[in-house]
Amino acid sequence: MRGNIGAIVLILVGAFFLLSNLGLLNISLRELIATWWPLILILLGIGMFLSPGDRRRK
């Protein structure tokens, strides 16, 4: 699942930059991150908390 999340993020970031370069999306990435950085940290923390990690059974 963790690899799937990374792939989805890459697809979304690529689509964002493509739409921005084509002039179809007029949003500044700098303003977006400056406004929503706390939410990004919260989502990363939740993702780390819910990921199974490297647990080994003996």
- Average pLDDT for 29-51: 84
The per-residue pLDDT for 56 is 56
> Does residue 44 surpass a pLDDT of 60?
yes
HSE-CB of 17 using CA atoms within 13 angstroms: 5
CA nearest to 21, candidates 31, 29, 10? 29
- Does residue 51 have a pLDDT over 60? yes
- Supply the pLDDT for residue 1: 53
Candidates 42, 35, 44, 37; CA nearest to 6 is 44
pLDDT band at 54 (very low <50, low <70, confident <90, very high): low
Please tell me the distance from the alpha carbon of residue 20 to that of residue 4, in angstroms, as a whole number.
24
pTM confidence score: 0.54
